[in-house]
Amino acid sequence: MSKKVWKSSAPSTYEHISSLRPKFTSRVDNVLHQKKALTFSNVVVPDKKTNTLSSSVIYSQGSDIYEIDFTVPLQDTLEPVKDYGDAFESAEKTSLSPKFVYQGETVSNMAYLDKTGETTLLAMSKNGSLAWFKEGIKVPIHIVQEMMGPATSFASIHSLTRPGDLPQKDFSLAISDFGISSDTETVVKSQSNGDEEDSILKIVDNAGKPGDILRTVHVPGTTVTHTVKFFDNHIFASCSDDNVLRFWDTRTSDKPLWILGEPKNGRLTSFDCSQVSNNLFVTGFSTGIIKLWDARVAEAATTDLTYRQNGEDPIQNEIANFYHAGGDSVVDVQFSTTSSSKFLTVGGTGNVYHWNTDYTLSNYEPKVSNTAPQDATEISQTNSLEFLHKGGSRRSPKHVGRRNATAWHPVIEDLVGTVDDDTLVSIYKPYTEESE
């Protein structure tokens, strides 16, 4: 294991960092070819005797899903560490065998549900199929299978057979996402239908009959809907390649409640909303721009005719914007599950940026409508960029940051996990001013 201390102007000292290159029981041909995704389980076991917390990383590689246990110190350390920690000590010696297998599919996104409940893990494959797994059973117990590739159209044959060799645009149709409602009773997934100008959302039950497709909604005029996220039990938003965010209610008919168009700043690549506040959300662009929004204000602006004529586009302003230095594109955005003021962004370089919005929110007055956005300045940027984690992709030249390869721990504050293309799994906790 390499031990380096990264040098950078942005703060990047760690309170804790551990890495693991997993060994597998089955032979893996070329680990770089397999798609990887990562999430955490929400089970945390504190051990007072040894003063540690145990939890686990759920890690997928191709069709296999592994659970890797780790142990971190219970108390915050007071000084930044220079050395890599040994959180994965117990997992280091053993060879991993898959906990779940989604045969014939490539897992691209996972969500942990509940260890003891009816279903433990929900995994999505690259073509948009969903599989529910239950603790102790290796194969899926519910499936929503999507046909893509040979069964549908020529365009998607490519995406099925030669995913890695083609330039990005040729497998752009094999992009899908899903979101789970706050009460975990409803799942919404987005996917391309395989044709031009046709992307769809499926509302899927996750309560009475998991996997039951309740409704299919067409998103007009879009080819790919790459992101879908829930705000609460019913309201969710989808983000498509026409740079429009559409807000929906699971119970309404097939029209969005309201929309947010974002024609400028390049391609809208990602968005996430806070589960803590229910109103805040963040959008990320291919140009490296990041915007923080208040959903209530953006919605109110759709009916506000104070500064515009009816028929003109609504004036929807964000709370604040930030940017990735050097035009590093935004490939993933994730709100912290423990704090409403923290989110992280993943750059195209694989770097992970930690943001804290306390500074901008202290200057923000939601009652005043039409406040101009707080544009990115030196001050707001330095006050908000809390931490920078340099992606491990430095080790191989041509790798880029990917979606769903970075995750916040749902319970342990500030703990983040990432997986690199060469299977290196890292968990870290930034050392920040507040930690002192």
| CB of residue 257 to another protein, shortest distance in Å | 9
Nearer to another protein (CB atom), residue 231 or residue 323: 231
Alpha-carbon separation of residue 127 from 123, 160, 227 (angstroms): 12, 8, 14
| CB of residue 57 to another protein, shortest distance in Å | 32
| CB of residue 228 to another protein, shortest distance in Å | 14
SS3 of residue 44 by DSSP: coil
Beta strands in 175-279 (DSSP E): 176-180, 186-192, 198-205, 213-220, 225-230, 235-240, 244-249, 258-261, 268-273
Rounded Cα distance, 214 and 256, in Å: 17
| Main-chain dihedrals φ then ψ at residue 140, nearest 5 degrees | -65, 145
Per DSSP, the residues of 314-325 read P----SEEEE-G
* Residue 71 bridge partners (DSSP): 54
189 closest CA partner among 122, 279, 133, 140: 122
| Main-chain dihedrals φ then ψ at residue 252, nearest 5 degrees | -85, 175
Q: Are 155 and 172 in contact (CB under 8 A)?
A: no
Neighbours of 343 (CB within 10 A): 25
Nearer to another protein (CB atom), residue 151 or residue 213: 213
Rounded Cα distance, 411 and 28, in Å: 32
Which amino acid is it at 167?
Answer: P
What mask, x for binding another protein by CB under 8 A, covers residues 111 to 140?
------------------------------
Which residue shows structure tokens 């955490």? 40
| CB of residue 220 to another protein, shortest distance in Å | 17
Residue 264 contacts another protein per CB under 8 A: no
Nearer to another protein (CB atom), residue 79 or residue 183: 183
| CB of residue 320 to another protein, shortest distance in Å | 24
8-state DSSP, 304:
-
Nearer to another protein (CB atom), residue 234 or residue 399: 234
Nearer to another protein (CB atom), residue 295 or residue 419: 295
Residue 303 contacts another protein per CB under 8 A: no
Pick from 215, 218, 264, 308 the residue near another protein by CB under 8 A.
Answer: 215
| CB of residue 208 to another protein, shortest distance in Å | 6
Residue 249 contacts another protein per CB under 8 A: yes
Neighbouring residues of 126: CB distance < 8 A, sequence distance ≥ 6: 35, 105, 106, 107, 108, 159, 163, 174, 176
Q: Are strands 213-220 and 121-125 parallel, antiparallel or unpaired?
A: unpaired
Residue 251 contacts another protein per CB under 8 A: yes
Pick from 227, 250, 356, 393 the residue near another protein by CB under 8 A.
Answer: 250
What mask, x for binding another protein by CB under 8 A, covers residues 67 to 96?
------------------------------
Nearer to another protein (CB atom), residue 198 or residue 232: 232
Residue 234 contacts another protein per CB under 8 A: yes
Pick from 68, 96, 235, 298 the residue near another protein by CB under 8 A.
Answer: 235
Nearer to another protein (CB atom), residue 8 or residue 252: 252
Which residue shows structure tokens 């790459």? 226
| Main-chain dihedrals φ then ψ at residue 89, nearest 5 degrees | -50, -45
SS3 of residue 160 by DSSP: helix
| CB of residue 92 to another protein, shortest distance in Å | 44
| CB of residue 255 to another protein, shortest distance in Å | 10
Pick from 68, 123, 203, 330 the residue near another protein by CB under 8 A.
Answer: 203
Pick from 51, 97, 103, 252 the residue near another protein by CB under 8 A.
Answer: 252
| Main-chain dihedrals φ then ψ at residue 43, nearest 5 degrees | -90, 125
Residue 218 contacts another protein per CB under 8 A: no
User: Of 308-347, which residues contact another protein (CB under 8 A)?
Assistant: none
User: Of 139-198, which residues contact another protein (CB under 8 A)?
Assistant: 183, 185-186
Nearer to another protein (CB atom), residue 163 or residue 220: 220
Which one of the spans 73-81, 135-143, 203-211, 392-400 is the region binding another protein (CB under 8 A)? 203-211
Beta strands in 381-432 (DSSP E): 385-389, 406-408, 416-419, 425-430
Binding residues vs another protein (CB under 8 A)? 183, 185-186, 203, 205, 207-208, 214-215, 232-235, 249-254
